[in-house]
Amino acid sequence: MPVRPRPLSPHLQIYRWTITMTMSIVHRATGIANYLGTLFLVIWLCAAAWGPGPLDMVNAIYGSWLGQLVLFGYSWSLLHHMLGGVRHFVWDSIHGLEAGQRELLSWVNLGASVVLTLLVWTIFVWVH
């Protein structure tokens, strides 16, 4: 019988994909996205400091459908990353570490970030 070469270390072909793995990757990605979104916030603040002309230009860009889509994604990224931090805080307090609890907290993190983002944008549109 031929001997099959074994991997030197476990990799993706060994593990099955789980929601906690996905949320770990998404948490890192939202952390990176928050840097870009914060740059957009700095651009807006600088435009406001430079005067009404630059501010009107930035507001026109951010008010376009593409700008609104980017801002919607940024707000979801902020909320998702914040809730991911809360989830890790719960885990650091030695709660929610059982198999079913880990997955539940991950799904709650995802669902709550979507619901809160929609709530924030609904309030924003309603007020304006």
pLDDT at 7 over 70: no
50-86 per-position pLDDT tens digit = 999 999 999 999 999 999 999 999 999 999 999 999 9
Domain extents for the chain?
A: 19-127
Q: Is the pTM of this model over 0.95?
A: no
Cβ pair 78, 115 in contact under 8 A: no
pLDDT at 8 over 80: no
The CATH number fitting domain 19-127, selected from 3.40.50.720, 3.40.50.300, 1.20.1080.10, 1.20.1300.10: 1.20.1300.10
Task: Give the pLDDT of residue 1.
Answer: 73
Task: Give the pLDDT of residue 3.
Answer: 81
Task: Give the pLDDT of residue 17.
Answer: 83
Q: Which pair of structure tokens corresponds to residue 100?
A: 């079913």
Q: How many Å is the maximal CA-CA distance in the chain?
A: 78
